[in-house]
C-alpha cells in the first residue's frame, strides 16, 4: 500500500525532534536517544541518576498523542500490522538490538550523526542496510 510523500511536514517534524534533542543536551547534557532513555529506567539495573529525567521525558513523549488528538480532532493515520506474531518478534529484536548496540534511530541516527560519531554513523548504515534487506525479503521474496 502506498503512502503520500510528505517532504514539508517530515522536514518540519524532523526539525522539532532536533529541537527536542538540543533542549535535552543543553539542560541535562544527555543524548535524546529513546532506547537509551527507556532502557535506563528498566530493570535489572535502574540508573538512579537518569531516572527522573528519563521518566519525565517519556511522560512528555506520551502526552504528544493525546494533545495532538485534542487539537487536530482526530488521531494521525496509522497502519499497524495485524500479525501479532510478527509484531512480537519485531518488538523483541528492536528492543534487544537497540540496547545491545547502544542506540536506535534517534540516538545513533540523529544525535550520533550530529556529533559526527564514527560508531553512530556505522551503526546507522548497518541498521538501514539490514532493515532494507528485511523489507525486501518480506515484500518481494515472501510477498507479504
Partner 1 sequence: MRILITLVSGFLFGVGLILSGMSNPLKVSNFLDVFGNWDPSLAFVMGGAIIVTMPGFWLIQRRKSPFFHDFFHLPTQTEFDMPLVAGASIFGIGWGLAGFCPGPALTSLPFANTGTLIFVLAMLSGMMSAKFVTQRMCQT
Q: How far is the CB of 64 from partner 1 (least distance, A)?
A: 2
63 part of the interface to partner 1, by CB under 8 A: yes
CA distance 2 to 135: 14
CA distance 104 to 23: 19
Q: How far is the CB of 73 from partner 1 (least distance, A)?
A: 14
Here the cell at position 114 is: 550530529
Angle at 129 between CA 124 and CA 131, to 5 degrees: 95
141 part of the interface to partner 1, by CB under 8 A: no
Asked if residues 65 and 75 have their Cβ atoms less than 8 Å apart, the reply is yes
Q: How far is the CB of 38 from partner 1 (least distance, A)?
A: 6
For 2-13, b/e burial (b = at least 16 CB within 10 A) is eeeeeeeeeeee
Angle at 134 between CA 93 and CA 17, to 5 degrees: 65
* Interface of this chain with partner 1, residues 74 to 93, rule: CB under 8 A: 75-82, 84, 86-93
* Interface of this chain with partner 1, residues 14 to 53, rule: CB under 8 A: 14-32, 34-35, 38-39, 42-45, 50, 52-53
* Interface of this chain with partner 1, residues 105 to 124, rule: CB under 8 A: 105-106, 108-115, 117-119, 122-124
65 part of the interface to partner 1, by CB under 8 A: yes
CB of 73 or CB of 130, closer to partner 1: 130
Q: How far is the CB of 55 from partner 1 (least distance, A)?
A: 9
Q: How far is the CB of 13 from partner 1 (least distance, A)?
A: 3
Here the cell at position 23 is: 533542549
Amino acid at each position: 500500500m502506498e503512502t503520500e510523500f510528505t517532504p514539508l511536514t517530515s522536514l518540519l517534524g524532523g526539525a522539532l525532534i532536533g529541537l527536542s534533542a538540543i533542549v535535552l543536551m543543553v539542560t541535562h547534557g544527555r543524548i535524546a536517544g529513546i532506547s537509551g532513555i527507556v532502557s535506563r529506567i528498566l530493570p535489572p539495573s535502574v540508573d538512579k541518576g537518569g531516572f527522573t529525567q528519563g521518566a519525565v521525558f517519556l511522560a512528555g513523549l506520551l502526552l504528544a498523542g493525546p494533545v495532538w488528538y485534542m487539537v487536530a480532532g482526530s488521531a494521525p493515520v496509522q497502519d499497524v500490522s495485524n500479525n501479532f506474531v510478527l509484531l512480537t518478534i519485531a518488538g523483541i529484536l528492536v528492543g534487544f538490538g537497540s540496547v545491545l548496540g547502544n542506540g536506535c534511530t534517534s540516538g545513533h541516527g540523529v544525535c550520533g550523526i550530529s556529533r559526527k560519531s564514527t560508531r553512530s554513523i556505522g551503526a546507522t548504515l548497518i541498521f538501514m542496510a539490514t532493515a532494507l534487506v528485511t523489507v525486501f525479503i518480506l515484500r518481494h521474496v515472501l510477498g507479504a
